[in-house]
């Protein structure tokens, strides 16, 4: 088992590897400057065609580690599947496909197809007929295409198993092995897993040929001197959110991290236009200019640096009180380096992270790497901003009264008062308005729009993460999980599926298949009870017809579900008949309408 090379003194660059020029160009545009440890260790063997076994946690940068070399080896003249990436969940499949699309943006004629449950089969069939170079999918939907003979894997040159231990935990390992049996023997395999349980070890021994083994040790680092918070990116523009935060935070110096060199310049200019003293710092800036910018930050000439990850190396400025991750980093180690610019030498510091909804996986990986929970925060309200501005204005008055000789101005105001017979309070109000005309003490609705103050609840996030844990917990408590449990929960309907204990089924197999192959969000999957030859499961009322039909043909443990409304032991229906539209089901891609999200209490497009 090899470890990544030590590149601390002489960091390698992506240009040092034999990546395709078009891929290198995309890497530069994305903003990567130096490879992460797993990328530096993985690129050479994958570019050389070697099989690879990588042990790495989420958040180490492994998507780029396998995508960049394998994209560089594609034959774009062949419009047929050459690379298959298997992921445990539809969410990860979408993320991986989007990342690979970014890296391949300059590859002429490149086509990639994510395949997962819940998306209309006709969309996937149409793209497969057109021709694709890369397929990214969940095991169940890939199996579905193999059974239909709509996807052939005999042209594959490489296959990636991403988060293999998670696929094992969700009951997909048999599907994975069946898919591997459809691939040509000479294909290259890269398997990534955070842990190496025995079933995964058996897969590697059976299917991988003399693999290069790489272990990336997760660097857990406590940062107790730094207060960590995150804002869930919502409808408010990130720039507006940033300026609100800057309004109310008591900061001295700040580093704001973004992903690309271009963004450093653009954001610094926008902050300057809003009255903040800011400057960009990135890898294209000369060493002389870098030193000058850092010196200006140290001396207080500027208060904010907007930089890429290159800024985090060796920067130690005592007055840095805050680090703001405007763009979430690509890996956890970069995050630790970033926030380490504050809270140094016994001082305290603040770190704020902007997190888009689909970046919550990285948020959880960061929490694990830092050994600390990151607290959700709300954007400052208009009242909070008003209070901050008024406080600053009052302090300005106090400082001026204490530090300035105001005799001349007192005579001027007394003369004006005598001439116009106006009270001192009215004169002071007029002067206050003039002083604050460009920055009103009470911001308008246009300057600070109303925003929802909903912060994600940790309990709701935990419930959404893994219903299998909830299922196991209920079983451990001995709670009834089916017919003996009485009526279904409110808003749920009970169904019968034709797979049970005698077929080797477990709740995790059923949950994994339904969550990933039928487009039903995992948080909406209710109680499950296993019997010998069948099982019963509670799902939200009002299952759309296309989802119901799809579920009939989903396979679990070698059997079709053949789902039907449960009739109960006395032949009575176990819930309401389908027809009432209920939250929890996503329409096929391209469908119209909205669905209501119970947890969030808002409507959004599917």
pLDDT at 565 exceeding the cut of 60: yes
Helix (H, G, I), strand (E, B) or coil at 160: strand
119 close to 87: Cβ distance less than 8 angstroms: no
pLDDT tens digits, residue range 24-59?
999 988 777 788 888 999 999 999 999 999 988 766
Strand residues in 126-269 grouped as ranges (E): 134-137, 158-161, 188-193, 212-215, 226-232, 253-257
Selection from 74-88, 91-105, 227-241, 490-504 with the highest mean pLDDT: 74-88
Higher pLDDT among residues 343 and 207, named by residue: 207
CA distance linking residue 94 with residue 166, whole number of Å: 16
State the average pLDDT over residues 578-582: 39
For residues 278 and 268, is the Cβ–Cβ distance under 8 A? Answer: yes
Averaged pLDDT, 517-540: 80
Map tokens 């799809």 to a residue: 550
Q: Determine the pLDDT at residue 543.
A: 77
Q: What is the mean pLDDT of residues 161-184?
A: 90
Cβ atoms within 10 A of the Cβ of 403, count? 8
Assigned token pair, 405: 């000789």
Residues 411-430: what's their mean pLDDT?
A: 90
Render pLDDT for 62-106 as a digit per residue (tens, 0 to 9).
Answer: 889 999 999 999 999 999 999 999 998 887 888 899 889 999 999
Rounded to whole angstroms, what are the CA distances from 465 to 101, 461, 521, 522, 528? 27, 6, 10, 8, 17
Q: What angle do the packed helices 90-103 and 360-370 form, to 10 degrees?
A: 100
pLDDT above 90 for 493: no
State yes or no: pLDDT of 424 exceeds 60: yes
| Measured distance CA(355)–CA(327) in Å, rounded | 8
Secondary structure, 3-state, 248-315: HCCCCEEEEECCCHHHHHHHHHHHHHCCCCEEEECCCCCHHHHHHHHHHHHHCCCCEEEECHHHHCCC
CA angle (59 as vertex; 230, 113 as ends), nearest 5: 105
Does 479 have pLDDT greater than 80? no
Q: In the prediction, which pLDDT does 556 show?
A: 84
C-alpha R_g of the chain = 29
Of 261, 300, 253, residue with least CA distance to 280: 261
Measured CA to CA, the distance from residue 196 to residue 218 in angstroms comes to: 15
CA atoms of 544 and 460, how far apart (whole Å): 25
Return the closest-CA partner of residue 178 out of 557, 553, 507. 557
Q: What are phi and psi of 549, to 5 degrees?
A: -65, -40
Pairing label, strands 492-497, 564-565? antiparallel
Q: What are the structure tokens assigned to 117, written together? A: 């449950």
Domains of the chain: 14-215 (3.40.50.300), 226-380 (3.40.50.300), 383-435 (no CATH), 466-604 (3.30.70.330)
Structure-block tokens of residue 145: 């295409």
pLDDT at 471 over 90: no
Q: Which residue has the tokens 């929890």?
A: 584
Indicate the pLDDT class of residue 501, thresholds 50, 70 and 90.
confident
More confident residue, 574 or 388: 388
- Beta-bridged to residue 492, according to DSSP, are 540
Judged by phi (left if over 0) then psi (alpha if -120 to 50, else beta), residue 49 lies in left
Residue 354 and residue 238 in contact, taking contact as beta carbons nearer than 8 Å: yes
**Angstrom distance (rounded) from CA 159 to CA 183:** 9
Give the closest residue to 454 by CA, choosing from 531, 397, 555, 377.
377
Distances (CA, A) of 241 to 28, 207, 304, 372, 448: 28, 50, 16, 24, 9
For residues 337 and 351, give the distance between their C-alpha atoms in angstroms, rounded to a whole number.
12
**Contact assessment for residue 546 and residue 582, using Cβ atoms and an 8 Å cutoff:** no
Residue 530 in contact with residue 556, Cβ under 8 Å?
Answer: no
| Helix, strand, coil content of the chain in percent (nearest 5) | 40, 15, 45
Q: Burial, 564: exposed, middle or buried (Cβ in 10 Å; 0-12, 13-18, 19+)? A: middle
Which one has a higher pLDDT value, 400 or 585? 400
């Amino acid at each position: 088992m090899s470890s990544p090379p030590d590149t601390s003194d002489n960091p390698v660059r992506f240009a040092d590897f034999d990546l395709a020029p078009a891929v290198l160009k995309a890497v530069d545009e994305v903003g990567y400057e130096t490879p992460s440890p797993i990328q530096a260790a993985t690129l050479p063997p994958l570019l050389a065609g070697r099989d690879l076994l990588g042990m790495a946690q989420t958040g180490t940068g492994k998507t780029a580690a396998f995508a960049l070399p394998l994209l560089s080896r594609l034959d774009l003249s062949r419009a047929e599947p050459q690379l298959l990436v298997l992921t445990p969940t539809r969410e990860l499949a979408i993320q991986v496909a989007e990342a690979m699309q970014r890296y391949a943006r300059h590859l002429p004629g490149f086509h990639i197809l994510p395949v997962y449950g819940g998306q209309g089969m006709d969309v996937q069939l149409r793209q497969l007929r057109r021709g694709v170079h890369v397929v990214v999918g969940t095991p169940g939907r890939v199996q579905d295409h193999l059974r239909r003979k709509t996807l052939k894997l005999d042209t594959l040159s490489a296959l990636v198993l991403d988060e293999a231990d998670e696929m094992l935990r969700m009951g997909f390992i048999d599907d994975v092995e069946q898919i591997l049996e459809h691939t040509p023997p000479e294909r290259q395999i890269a398997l990534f897993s955070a842990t190496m349980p025995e079933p995964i070890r058996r897969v590697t021994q059976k299917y991988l040929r003399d693999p290069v083994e790489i272990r990336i040790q997760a660097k857990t680092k406590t940062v107790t001197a730094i207060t960590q918070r995150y804002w869930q990116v919502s409808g408010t523009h990130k720039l507006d959110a940033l300026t609100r935060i800057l309004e109310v935070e008591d900061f001295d110096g700040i580093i704001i991290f973004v992903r690309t060199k271009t963004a450093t310049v653009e954001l610094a200019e926008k902050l300057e236009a809003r009255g903040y003293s800011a400057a960009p710092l990135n890898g294209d800036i000369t060493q002389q200019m870098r030193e000058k910018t850092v010196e200006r930050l140290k001396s207080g000439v500027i208060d904010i640096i907007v930089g890429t990850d290159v800024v985090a190396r060796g920067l130690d400025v005592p007055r840095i009180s805050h680090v703001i991750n405007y763009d979430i980093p690509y890996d956890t180690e970069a995050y630790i380096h970033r926030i380490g610019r504050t809270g140094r030498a016994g001082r305290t510091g603040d770190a704020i992270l902007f997190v888009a909804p689909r970046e919550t996986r990285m948020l959880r990986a960061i929490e694990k790497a830092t050994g600390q929970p990151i607290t959700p925060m709300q954007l400052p309200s208009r009242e909070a901003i008003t209070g901050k501005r008024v406080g600053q204005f009052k302090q300005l008055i106090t400082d001026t009264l204490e530090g300035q000789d105001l005799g001349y101005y007192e005579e001027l105001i007394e003369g004006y008062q005598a001439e116009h017979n106006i009270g001192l309070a009215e004169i002071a109000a007029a002067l206050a308005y003039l002083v604050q005309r460009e920055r009103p003490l009470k911001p308008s609705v246009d300057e600070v729009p109303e925003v929802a103050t909903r912060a994600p609840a940790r309990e709701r996030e935990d419930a959404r993460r893994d219903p299998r844990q909830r299922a196991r917990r209920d079983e451990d408590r001995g709670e009834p999980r089916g017919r003996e449990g009485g009526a279904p929960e409110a808003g749920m309907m009970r169904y019968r599926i034709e797979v049970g204990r005698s077929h080797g089924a477990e709740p995790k197999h059923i949950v994994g298949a339904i969550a990933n192959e039928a487009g039903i969000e995992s948080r909406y999957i209710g109680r499950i009870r296993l019997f010998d030859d069948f099982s019963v499961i509670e799902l939200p009322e009002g299952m759309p017809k296309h989802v119901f039909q799809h579920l009939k043909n989903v396979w679990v443990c070698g059997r079709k579900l053949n789902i039907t409304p449960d009739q109960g032991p006395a032949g009575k229906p176990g819930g309401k008949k389908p027809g009432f539209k209920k939250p929890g089901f996503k329409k096929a891609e391209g469908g119209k309408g909205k669905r209501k999200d119970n947890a969030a209490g808002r409507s959004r497009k599917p």
